[in-house]
């Protein structure tokens, strides 16, 4: 943990561990079967209670060769470091994984957590921008 202008900053491993813990608390309390927006709102509350800065439905610029080519809206951005892509589907598909990899490549952020609240047990996948396989 590093102090940055008086604010506690976690390394990405500790940060993703904290986020996943918050997601499990939401999943355990709400169970499965709700729309993504319900889990997004609940997870924001849980993350903020844990002391994280959370931006919800934040537009992020997509760049190509250094030029802006569009933007997409992230479900959640935590502490300016970790994208969270939320799903409420039966299972995570390769398309969901590819979506996260593309978001990371386009935004130049390093970590995305793919969280699926659809099944009876929370599915989570930590996806890294600079990794061939995660």
45-91 confidence digits (pLDDT tens): 999 999 999 999 988 888 888 899 988 899 999 999 999 999 999 99
Phi, psi of 41 (to 5 degrees): -65, -45
22 in a structural domain: yes
Residue whose C-alpha is closest to residue 40's, from 1, 87, 110, 99: 87
Alpha-carbon distance 32 to 122, whole Å?
Answer: 8
Q: Above 70 in pLDDT, residue 4?
A: no
In this prediction, residues 16-22 reach a mean pLDDT of 97
Query: Which one is predicted more confidently, 132 or 129?
Result: 129
Residue with tokens 């935590």: 78
pLDDT of residue 35: 96
- DSSP letter, residue 65: T
Q: Above 80 in pLDDT, residue 20?
A: yes
Q: How many separate domains does the chain show?
A: 1
pLDDT of residue 6: 45
Could you tell me the two tokens for 92?
Answer: 């995570």
- Asked if residues 76 and 54 have their Cβ atoms less than 8 Å apart, the reply is yes
- Binning pLDDT at 50, 70 and 90, where does residue 8 land? very low
Q: Above pLDDT 70, what percent of the chain?
A: 90
CATH of the domain at 97: 3.90.320.10
Domain span at residue 119 reads: 12-128
33 in a structural domain: yes
């Amino acid at each position: 943990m590093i102090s940055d202008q008086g604010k506690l900053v976690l390394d990405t491993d500790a940060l993703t561990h904290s986020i996943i813990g918050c997601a499990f608390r939401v999943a355990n309390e709400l169970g499965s079967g709700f729309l993504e927006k319900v889990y997004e709102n609940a997870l924001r509350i849980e993350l903020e209670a844990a002391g994280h800065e959370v931006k919800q439905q934040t537009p992020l610029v997509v760049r190509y060769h250094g030029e802006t080519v569009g933007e997409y809206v992230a479900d959640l951005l935590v502490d300016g470091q970790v994208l969270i892509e939320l799903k409420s589907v039966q299972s995570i598909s390769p398309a969901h994984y590819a979506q996260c990899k593309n978001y990371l490549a386009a935004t130049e952020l390093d970590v995305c957590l793919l969280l699926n609240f659809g099944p009876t047990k929370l599915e989570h996948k930590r996806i890294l921008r600079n990794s061939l396989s995660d």
